[in-house]
Structure 1
Amino acid sequence: MTGATDVAILNGFGRTLGDSIIGLQALHAARTLGAIPGKPVLFRLPGLSPLIEAVYAAAADLAEVRELPWTDATPERPFTPAAAFARVIDIRDFAFDPAFRGAPMIDYFLRHLGVAPAGVPPALKRNAWLAPRVTLPPQPAAGHVLVCPRTANPMRDMPDAVHAHILDWLGTHTGAPVLTQAMLPPAGSLAELCGLVAAARLVVAADTAMVHLADAFRVPCLAFFTTHRPEWRVRDYPLCTPVHRPAPGLPPAIEFVRGPDDVAAAQAAWGPGLAWLDPVLAAAWRRSENP
């Protein structure tokens, strides 16, 4: 045993904002429940965006971060420093693992960290680790609606017509300031992004990363899903209203675009008509009044 560094976690937890937020919550839960002793070492692939780097910097008390070279990116290659650790948790290439697809992401990470998901209290399946570790910048008067139409995957993006319809409905029916990430400059820091979410009255998103942030700051959220079932991402979020528009013809839980037909199929799932959006938006707005 090597004290604080007796556990190594390889590729923990991916390269996207959403995966990182959830993975770090799973680690927070595993440490709280005693399944991960001490302070583990997360071996991260290089070339992460400054925003993702900031997420792991915020979690510096949960784990030490070291670089995992690209040459060691897949499980097919032995992890040569393994002998220095009492336990190595290998989740390299987890996005290609069939067990990752079609399951709640928090449960997948918990299992790999040695925790049975059924025994984890609901509060530890929410993104409780983040808010206490981020100092929010001063905010103008709170109460805006934040619309997040773009995602890290073009299949999941909100079609332009849907985005325009949502902005029009919110502007007509709510009286609240409406901000859309499509027209805002990118956040300059993790604190700035979190502040934008934390000051919102309601988040409307196709981007699950923003949904995870909304849960972290206890902001009501309306979340749209086409390629994944909602319970795989937001099962544990009591303030989230999920809407599932399944895309016929696409494999369940598809993670990577195979070609333009995949994007077209996912976009078509929103439907040729948008009248269905009005009662959904109305219900989410009413819920934001009494979260």
Structure 2
Amino acid sequence: MTILDEVSALTNAGSLLSRDGEIVASYDLEVSDVAAEGYRALSTVQEIKNANVAPFEVDYSRLTRVHVINGMGVTLGDSIIGLTALAAIKRRHPRISFVIYRPSRAPAYVRQLYELAAPIFGAVVDLPVDVDSLPDDELRVDLGNHLFWPNFSSMPMVDFFLWALGIPPDDVGPDHKSNDWLKRVNLPALSTEWASKEYALLCPTASTPVRSIPNSFRAAAVNRLWEKFHLPVLGFGKVDHQHYTDISSLSVNTAAFLVWVKNARFLMTSDTAAVHIAAGFDVPTVAFFTTIPPELRVRDYAACTAVNLPLPELQGIQASGRAGDLEIVDRAYQKLIASNWAL
């Protein structure tokens, strides 16, 4: 079996298998001090499905338990949409339960999402695990390191996850692709003064700066929200505006963040987890896109208005904090202000 070099291991389109027969997430190696040496691709185990290596379809009506290996990424947005694909399967076949094997070093706020989702979907297990511990007579699907799968950059994300799970995306209607499983999550009530008040919400910060709303636009964004709704504007991060309140200290975990979005009268954001949460709770939203075509992220969100900033030189960039890239993004938002853009 081919042993991957360190670069190939970290960018492998799938999970890894150690010399000791353990399934390992590349992410866990990347963020640790452990060298990514001595690993081979889990796809060398032919009984484990990997659609990037060999596309497949599955008749889920015949199954009761499915093992999802290294799903659904280490960001909040990817995880929400990946779980939506599982929800679409479970909607058709309620008796199915999933065992979701997760990178153990994923950020705490992402881990919290899976803890909230577990009662709906099944069990959540930390990697690594012994490959032989997964039953031979149950479906095992590898979704590891999906950022490096070519189809991830070319398909709407929910369609990508459905395809990777062996479901033709066109077999699932748009009403089952909008994250409404979030309504079934057991969430706390708001326990602050805002529990009985309406507010607009600004969520400007994405997982990478190139997709975030720049600081130079945030006061203008708050002003647009105030002019449109005449409601106080809450948000995450400092903004100099008399009608704005920073609630960062009141959003202490993922459950709290979900609740803040759920209860908003309106959301303004970019290509962030917040846009996917809002869709799940039918919150009207405007979302700005810089490097990813909106149809790959919000195609099925009826309550979302996408604003696509034409930045061809940045198209397809998954992450960047480079000064030159951020200057391009900033100029695009400044042009938006100059155009007297309004909600």
Task: Identify if the C-alpha distance between structure 1 residues 278 and 259 changes in structure 2 by more than 3 Å, giving closer, same or farther.
Answer: closer
Tell me which of 261, 278, 289 is aligned to 1:197: 261
TM-score (norm 2): 0.72
Give the Cα separation in 1 of the matches to 2:135 and 2:228: 61
**If you compute each CA radius of gyration, which structure gives the higher value, 1 or 2?**
2
Paired-residue identity, %: 33
Give 3-state SS (helix, strand or coil) of 1:270's partner: helix
Task: Identify if the C-alpha distance between structure 1 residues 58 and 4 changes in structure 2 by more than 3 Å, giving closer, same or farther.
Answer: farther
Tell me which of 152, 170, 175 is aligned to 1:118: 170
Give 3-state SS (helix, strand or coil) of 1:111's partner: helix
| 1:127-150 deviations in Å (ceiling 9; x for gaps) | 111112132314522421101111
Partner of 1:287: none
Give 3-state SS (helix, strand or coil) of 1:88's partner: strand
- Give the gaps of 5 or more residues in structure 1: 73-77, 282-291
Give the Cα separation in 1 of the matches to 2:301 and 2:158: 12
| 1:12-51 pair list within 5 angstroms | 12-34=71-93, 38-51=96-109
Tell me which of 47, 71, 88 is aligned to 2:140: 88
1:267 offset after TM fit, Å? 3.3
Task: Tell me if the contact between 1:7 and 1:85 (Cα under 8 Å) persists in the aligned partners.
Answer: no
Q: Does 1:108 align with 2:171?
A: no
Partner of 2:38: none
Q: Does 1:156 align with 2:215?
A: no
Q: Does 1:242 align with 2:297?
A: no
Partner of 2:196: 141
Q: Does 1:227 align with 2:291?
A: yes
1:273 offset after TM fit, Å? 5.4
Tell me which of 276, 284, 289 is aligned to 2:339: 276
Q: Does 1:262 align with 2:325?
A: yes
| 1:23-74 deviations in Å (ceiling 9; x for gaps) | 111101012223x9631211100122332222111221312111123xx9xx
- Give the gaps of 5 or more residues in structure 2: 1-61, 238-245
Farther off after superposition, 188-197 or 97-106: 188-197
Q: Does 1:132 align with 2:171?
A: no
| 1:158-183 deviations in Å (ceiling 9; x for gaps) | 11121111112333453211112113
Task: Tell me if the contact between 1:145 and 1:176 (Cα under 8 Å) persists in the aligned partners.
Answer: yes
TM-score (norm 1): 0.84
Give the Cα separation in 1 of the matches to 2:152 and 2:217: 29
Give the Cα separation in 2 of the matches to 1:101 and 1:267: 24
